[in-house]
Every structure is written in C-alpha cells, then in structure tokens.
Amino acid sequence: MPAAAAARPFRMGPARSPRSPAWWSPGPSAGILWRMPRFPGAVPSRLPNVGTTIFTVMSRLAAETGAINLSQGFPEFSAPPLLYDLVAKHMRAGSNQYAPMAGTVALREAIARKVEALYGTRYDPEHEITVTAGGTQAIFTAITALVRPGDEVILFEPAYDSYAPSVVLAGATAVRARLAFPAYRPDWDEVRRLVSPRTRLIVTNTPHNPSGTIWSEADLGRLEALVEGTEIVVLSDEVYEHMVFDGRRHESCARRPALAARSVVVSSFGKTYHVTGWKVGYVLAPRELTLEFRRVHQFVVFTVNTPVQLALAEYLSDASLHLGLAAFYERKRDLFRAGLAQTRLSLLPCEGTYFQLASYAGLTEERDDVLAERLTREGGVASIPVSAFYAQPPHDPVLRFCFAKNDDTLARACERLARARW
Ligand code: GLN
C-alpha cells in the first residue's frame, strides 16, 4: 500500500448524494453508512455442482438438534497434554515465523525415520518429503500440480468428497471405478478397462473412507501391474494408515519400490494424534514429483505453521504413539459394534479407519440422505449418508458412523439407535 494511502484516515463511506448508486442504503445503526453492496456482475462458478460438504452439513444439523454427532470424522478426545506443552514451548521460545517452505527440517527428518521404520523405504527429507496443511490440501495440491486439462483421473467410488472437485478444477475428467456395496472391493478388471492413454492419475485410499475396508498386498500387486510401463501417477490417500485392525498390516505404496517410484503418499497428523483441527499432514513422493508438488504448494499455503511442526518433530520420536493407535481404535470399534448389535442395523465389516458402516436394508425404504437427516432429528444420532461419496449416488441402504468418540458417547448413541423408529 502506498504511504499516502496508509496515512489517510479510515472513512466509512460517502453520505448519500443525488449521485449515490442504487445499492446505497443507510445502515441500521449510527456510524454505519452503507450495507455491503452486491457484486456488480455474474460469478460463473468453477464448481457449479458442489454445495457445502456433507460433513459440515451434518455436523451443523447435529449441533442445531442436539444430536450425538457420529457424522463428521473427528475424535471427541484430546491428545496427551505433552503435545500441547511442546507446542507452547516452541511458541514461547520464539519459533513463530515462517518455517521453510517444505516444512521444518526437524519434522521432515522425523518423518523420514518413521516411514523408514514402518515401510522400509528411505525418503530423502530434502527432496522427497513435504509438510502440508492437512491431507485435503495435499490432495488438492498434488492434483493441481500433476494433472493437466484434458487428462483423466481414475477414482474409486465411494470416494472422499474432495477428490472429484480437485480434478474438475484442474480441467480434467474424473473416471469412476466402483467399490460395490456391500463388499466395497476393487474390481481390477474394471479398473484395467478404465485406463486410457489420457489416464494421468489413479487416486487410491486405504484404509478406505467411508467403507472401512483395507486393501491387501494382492490389491497393491494388481495396482502395480496395472500401471507398469505407463506414466501414470498414483495419489495414495493413506491418512488412516495407523488404524488397521485384527493384526493386519497397512499396505502402503511406500512399501513397494515400483509403486513408491510413481506415488504421492498422503498422511495426516490430525488423524494420528487426535488433532484434526491443526490441519497438518505430509506427502512422500519421489523427487521428480515432489519438485512439481512444491511448485504449487508454495503458492497455495507457502508453509505450514512452525510451532506445531517443531512440536510434532519431537512427539513423533515416540513410536508407541502411532503404533498403539490400532489397538486403541480396535477396542472402540468392538465396543461400538457390540452396542450396534443391539439395534436392528446390520453391520458391515470394519477392517480399518474410525468409520463403521451399517446397513438398514429391510428396515425402511427411505433414501440414505433422507434417513440420515431423520435419524438426526428424531433419533438424536447424526451419521453420514454414504451417497455423499458418489457423483451419481446408488443410494445403497447404508450409513456411516464415526466411532472416534468417548465410550459413553458411543454407548448413548447405540441406546438411541436401538430405540429408533424405522
Ligand atoms: N475426513 C473427515 C470425514 O470423512 C471429514 C473432513 C472434513 O470435514 N472435510 O468425515
């Protein structure tokens, strides 16, 4: 701002004059000289088919109606106080200015050590790890950086709701492979048929939101074979990587050299450490992909907040925190499933994530979005209709419940669902 403008005293606006434009109107109280005028033109939407995300809609409805909120995925509980103390320590010590664009060195080094211990692959913190403002930003940035107008991007539906809009904003086309109700398993022959010379990216997600399924080693083998000899990039959303149950292991693209070489792997500290509101995650990718990712990243967020990164770098060194997460959520899953078994809902398997799908086939003919709203208002429990994860929803009779909640919250929700009118 020029110095002269900065020095000029702030004025609320002109008094009404014969030349005042049509939008001018006196404000409701003294001191306000105008209401905010309307934008004087058309605003063609870049995302005309998109409303407010279902997570916001259902959480808002739950708050309005006082329902137990098992809709949007976020933990009800806090992280251990140590994590907050570490953030405060770094803030007080003066680490409050911009971090390096790719993330603090300490955090990237801690991530490299963690990933190496988990998946046996050494990512170079300098060139292959980038700290992001959460998983959703990482996904948007990766798609924006790597997908060109006219390209095709293969998604597996039901798909997390940010994927397709990111593809549309990149000027590309989303091509949908089905994970069919109720098993939600990939059909690799179908995926093979969907691959075309225009396919630039395949977006994968294991453990899978919303279905709670996980991919096996064989699935990753099929994926690897499918992309071999192509220039297709895999965008692997692994934000629930530490929530895999029943002694099974998470199949990361980072485990397999041939896939790691073409994958952008997305992870989330919010999910792992019960701090979804902090919006911090990271991506792992070979340096050629990281270079392009960072070209965009620097202009989207530039850099992620410093004291939280420094705190996480220290916190991460205790592997028991992420290694213990599976047992922590497995117990909650079992508790929640035992409670839901007392209702008339039928449970689908839950192999990972903190989401449980429940089928209401045979109970009511209502569409899932209609039922989710009614159950929130009348039954006092908010859930997510799985149709929100589709472009053309099949409206399978299934709802998603988040069990990252205190035990008594889960118990009360199950009691309410047992009393629900179908
Ligand atoms: N990932 C969370 C879920 O699926 C929600 C994130 C969000 O609200 N955008 O519920």
Domains and CATH numbers, the chain: 1-36 (no CATH), 54-73+323-418 (3.90.1150.10), 95-317 (3.40.640.10)
Q: Using one digit for the tens of pLDDT, what is the confidence trace for 190-213? A: 999 999 999 999 999 999 999 999
How remote is the CA of residue 72 from the centroid of ligand 1, in Å? 5
Pocket test for ligand 1, best of 54, 56, 72 (most atoms within 8 A of CB): 72
CA 152 to chain centre: 21
Whose tokens are 């429940």? That residue is 358
Cβ–ligand 1 distance for 73 under 6 Å, the answer yes
Q: Using one digit for the tens of pLDDT, what is the confidence trace for 291-322? A: 999 999 999 999 999 999 999 999 999 999 99
Cβ proximity of 215 and 206 under 8 Å: yes
Instruction: Report how far residue 322's alpha carbon sits from residue 114's, in angstroms, rounded to the nearest whole number.
Output: 10
Overall average pLDDT of the 166-175 stretch? 98
Residue 25: predicted pLDDT: 60
Q: Using one digit for the tens of pLDDT, what is the confidence trace for 93-106? A: 999 999 999 999 99
Q: Using one digit for the tens of pLDDT, what is the confidence trace for 135-147? A: 999 999 999 999 9
Instruction: Using alpha carbons only, give the angle 337, 340, 343 rounded to the nearest 5 degrees.
Output: 155
Instruction: Report how far residue 269's alpha carbon sits from residue 314's, in angstroms, rounded to the nearest whole number.
Output: 13
207 prior amide bond cis, ω within 30: yes
Q: List phi, psi (to 5°) of 100.
A: -55, 150
How remote is the CA of residue 55 from the centroid of ligand 1, in Å? 6
Residue 129: predicted pLDDT: 98
